[in-house]
A = this chain, B = another copy of it.
Amino acid sequence: MTRVTVWTEYRQERNDPAVAAVYPDGIHTIIAEGLRDADFDVRTATLDEPDHGLTDDVLAETDVLTWWGHVAHGEVDDVVVERVHSRVLDGMGLIVLHSGHHSKIFKRLMGTTCDLNWRESGDRERLWVVDPAHPIAESLGEGFTLDAEEMYGEHFDVPAPDRLVLISWFSGGEVFRSGCCYERGRGRIFYFRPGHETHPSYRHPGVRRVIANAVAWAAGPKGNAPERRDRPEAPEMESSGD
């Protein structure tokens, strides 16, 4: 069974009544609930736990990590960022959610600023599937609509995604590459746009479906860990059917 660790800052839910009204037990609780409903083995971790809840042991037992942060990216310890980075390159999946676009770990993996345009306006958002054969698009049909969300607009300063699965339309006039797949090292990374803290998007069935599909995709079969070293001779590679 795929083991998922759901990580969030869990700050605004405790400090900001507007956020607490939407997610009284924290965003992580609701994301975790959706993933348990999809039959994953789920634990949570948050910023203010020791090691942010992301010890070597926790990461070793995590197949896919989901990441939501917003106001406290700078408080994430660089040691933990490097630990997560190493695990991703070694094969752990990573699902970066909404304002996690500015997290240290996402910028570390992308190599770019990950900047974008935004508007806290309650725009209507329509997410369109542009790669219907992709596993993350399974059961989404043409896409789905969120009645009110923060707007994120292009240009989104990320590498061109290895696969682009979703594009968002906003009622105010913008578009955004909302579902972006990357492979780095042996790890799979998915950026998924929705999820502002004042909107109940993580309770929406379409959003939940995307996250569950993404976790299944990111936990998919991995190749072997390649050796990379001085090679006095080329390896024999005589057979490898097993």
Interface residues of A (CB under 8 A from B): 89, 91, 108-113, 115-119, 121, 126, 128-135, 137-145, 151, 153-157, 159-160, 162-164, 167-170, 172-175, 177, 182-188, 204-206, 208-209, 220-242
- A-B complex: 10 closest residue pairs judged by Cβ atoms: A205-B241, A173-B234, A132-B223, A137-B223, A155-B226, A115-B228, A133-B186, A109-B111, A111-B111, A144-B240
Least Cβ–Cβ distance between A107 and chain B, in angstroms: 9
Q: Are A237 and B144 in contact (CB under 8 A)?
A: yes
In this complex, which of A128, A143, A204, A223 has the most chain B Cβ atoms within 10 angstroms of its Cβ? A223
Task: Report the bound CA distance from A62 to B151 in whole Å.
Answer: 36
Q: Are B132 and A241 in contact (CB under 8 A)?
A: no
Chain B residues with CB below 8 A from A231, complex form: 117-119, 151, 153, 174
Task: Report the bound CA distance from A239 to B184 in whole Å.
Answer: 32
Q: Are B184 and A143 in contact (CB under 8 A)?
A: no
Which of B145, B159, B204 sits near A159, CB closer than 8 Å?
Answer: B159
Q: Are A174 and B234 in contact (CB under 8 A)?
A: yes
* 22 residue pairs A–B, Cβ–Cβ below 8 Å: A109-B111, A117-B231, A119-B233, A126-B175, A126-B234, A128-B155, A129-B226, A130-B156, A131-B160, A132-B222, A137-B224, A138-B224, A141-B224, A142-B227, A144-B237, A144-B239, A155-B228, A157-B228, A167-B167, A174-B234, A205-B240, A206-B240
Chain B residues with CB below 8 A from A131, complex form: 160, 183, 223
Given contacts A118-B230, A173-B234, contact A188 B240 (CB under 8 A): no
Q: Which residue of B lies closest to A143 (CB)?
A: B237
Given contacts A119-B232, A160-B164, A163-B160, contact A205 B155 (CB under 8 A): no
Which of B111, B205, B240 sits near A242, CB closer than 8 Å?
Answer: B205
Q: Are B183 and A160 in contact (CB under 8 A)?
A: yes
Least Cβ–Cβ distance between A193 and chain B, in angstroms: 13
